[in-house]
């Protein structure tokens, strides 16, 4: 496979996922090499002229007014990394660490940080050879960027800290030695160039957006399967309704449900429902799928736009503008854009899980499910002896409730740091971690809806399903058999959650209905 060329300008979320999860190799573009070298040369000229530059010839944060002598500028960078390596808690997942490393390399490749080319190439070597720094996940407030997590990354570049290499955790220096990578001796500006930025929160955000898009399409599939299982009324998805309230997400969601249920003999029209003595309209969890899930779609699209900008941004401080022969201090490290986008994503995904759980509750309730047995207990077993899928809904309810707590925005909080000099911070890493936690919970909730909807369809007749929902049902039944007698359900739910996460249902639907938009 060809290497991914990074230049600080053209990285995509899909590129991030490929490097993070598929170990795609990375290299600098020729343009990036030129820009990095030009930026470094400009900075070196500033230092020769004894120009006062924050973080190069001064201390950091509230100590930015303290001038550092020329003899101490290298120690300044090393001390910065050591002192800021103070994160705690569980270590970040390997895929998140790889994404973080890639994003840091990409922002440095833009050529505004003044880092030496060989230092940047060391980071890329680590990524390509699988030297993964051990980074505790808690400790960053998201301004000045993700200082702590990125310092833990940089420690390993220096031959310190801890790293995972070939499945073993070892000292950073040992990992570099085994990978045949020479440790970096930090020069002026390089510590702050490496640890000052939004790469932890943005790495988590990029993975979350990618997974959320898959989850959303899967949730539309589970919704369509539930609509069929409940003999839902398809009038609500008519294109004309959504053209007169033309939110993009709403129109796409309605179109996807029509695609998934095409050729179905289980759905009804309003007129058919009346003839059967049914209410001519479905409850909101069915009828308003386009409006609710469309709004989620628009929220995910917003998060994607923010992340796509952020992954190709210069986010450290100060920045070197070689073309203008200038060095400027600013606040591009502040994570507020990412923090707010991740809070919005967490809220949207919470809604997605809430409405999915409501359909699950309807599927198992004989008072609401249009003739299906209570708790979808199989007809061949003794009544009252089996609980069927009763408790699956309990689990969905628990996860939906947990999400309502996790959806509380992190970005509205701020606790000042650095002796009140850094007096308003983003809490972006917390927002990103919460969004990922909500996402995983919703993957379980949707898996539970799929489990219950498939069981309900077995009573109606799977051969009557639409062409899109039919292949989703068939995939599910390859992994989870129909529930005839009570059994432990955890394994079934875990299996389906894995398929949901990996996009299995989306890929299955694509074979007959095309790619859901």
| Cα 295 from Cα 293, distance rounded (Å) | 5
- Judge whether 318 and 329 are in contact, CB under 8 Å: yes
Task: Provide the 10 A C-beta neighbour count for residue 52.
Answer: 12
388 touches 27 (CB < 8 A): no
What is the 3-state secondary structure of 440-457? Answer: HHHHHHHHHHHHHHHHHH
* Secondary structure (3-state) at 269: coil
104 and 312 in contact (C-beta within 8 Å)? Answer: no
- Residue 28 CA to residue 283 CA, distance in Å, equals 54
Which uninterrupted H or E stretch holds 268?
A: none
CA 44 vs. chain centroid, Å, equals 38
> Which is catalytic among the residues 54, 112, 444, 473?
54
**Pair of tokens at residue 235:** 């009038």
54 among known catalytic residues = yes
- Pairing state of beta strands 132-133 and 326-328? unpaired
Q: Are strands 88-91 and 4-6 parallel, antiparallel or unpaired?
A: unpaired
**Distance in angstroms (rounded) separating the CA atoms of residues 354 and 359:** 9
Contact 203, 90 (CB under 8 A): no
Active site residues: 54
């Amino acid at each position: 496979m060809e290497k991914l060329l990074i230049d600080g300008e053209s990285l995509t979320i899909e590129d991030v996922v490929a490097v993070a999860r598929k170990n795609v190799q990375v290299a600098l573009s020729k343009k990036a090499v030129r820009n990095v070298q030009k930026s470094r040369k400009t900075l070196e000229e500033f230092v020769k002229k004894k120009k006062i530059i924050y973080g190069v010839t001064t201390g950091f944060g509230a100590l930015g007014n303290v001038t550092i002598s020329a003899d101490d500028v290298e120690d300044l960078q090393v001390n910065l990394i050591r002192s800021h390596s103070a994160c705690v808690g569980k270590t970040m997942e390997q895929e998140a660490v790889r994404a973080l490393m890639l994003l840091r390399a990409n922002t440095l490749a833009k050529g505004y940080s003044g880092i030496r080319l060989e230092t940047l190439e060391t980071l890329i070597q680590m990524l390509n050879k699988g030297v993964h720094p051990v980074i505790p996940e808690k400790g960053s407030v998201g301004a000045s960027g993700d200082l702590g997590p990125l310092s833990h990354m940089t420690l390993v570049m220096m031959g310190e800290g801890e790293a995972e290499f070939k499945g073993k955790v070892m000292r950073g220096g040992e990992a570099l030695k085994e990978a045949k990578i020479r440790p970096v001796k930090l020069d002026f500006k390089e510590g702050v160039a490496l640890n000052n930025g939004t790469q932890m929160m943005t790495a988590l955000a990029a993975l979350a957006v990618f997974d959320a898009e898959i989850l959303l399409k899967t949730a539309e599939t589970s919704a369509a399967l539930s609509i069929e299982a409940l003999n839902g009324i398809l009038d609500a998805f008519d294109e004309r309704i959504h053209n007169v309230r033309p939110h993009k997400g709403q129109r796409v969601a309605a179109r996807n449900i029509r695609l998934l249920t095409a050729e179905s003999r289980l759905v009804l029209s309003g007129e058919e429902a009346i003839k059967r003595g049914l209410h001519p309209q479905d409850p909101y969890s069915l009828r308003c799928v386009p409006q609710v899930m469309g709004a989620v779609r628009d929220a995910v699209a917003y998060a994607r736009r923010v992340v796509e900008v952020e992954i190709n941004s210069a986010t450290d401080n100060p920045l070197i503008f070689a073309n203008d022969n200038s060095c400027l201090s600013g606040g591009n490290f502040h994570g507020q854009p990412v923090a707010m986008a991740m809070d919005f994503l967490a809220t949207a995904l919470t809604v997605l899980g809430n409405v999915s759980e409501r359909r699950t509750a309807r599927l198992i309730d004989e008072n609401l499910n249009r003739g299906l047995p209570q708790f979808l207990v199989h007809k061949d077993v003794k009544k009252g002896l089996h609980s069927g899928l009763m408790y699956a809904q309990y689990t969905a309810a628990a996860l939906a409730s947990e999400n309502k707590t996790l959806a509380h925005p992190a970005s509205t909080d701020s606790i000042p740091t650095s002796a009140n000099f850094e007096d308003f911070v983003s809490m972006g890493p917390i927002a990103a971690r919460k969004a990922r936690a909500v996402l995983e919970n919703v993957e379980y909730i949707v898996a539970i809806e799929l489990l219950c909807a498939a069981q309900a369809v077995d009573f109606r007749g799977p051969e009557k399903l639409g062409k899109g929902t039919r292949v989703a049902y068939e995939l599910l039944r390859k992994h989870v058999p129909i529930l005839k007698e009570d059994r432990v359900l955890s394994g079934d739910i875990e299996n389906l959650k894995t398929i949901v996460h990996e996009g299995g249902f989306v890929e299955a639907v694509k074979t007959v209905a095309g790619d859901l938009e």
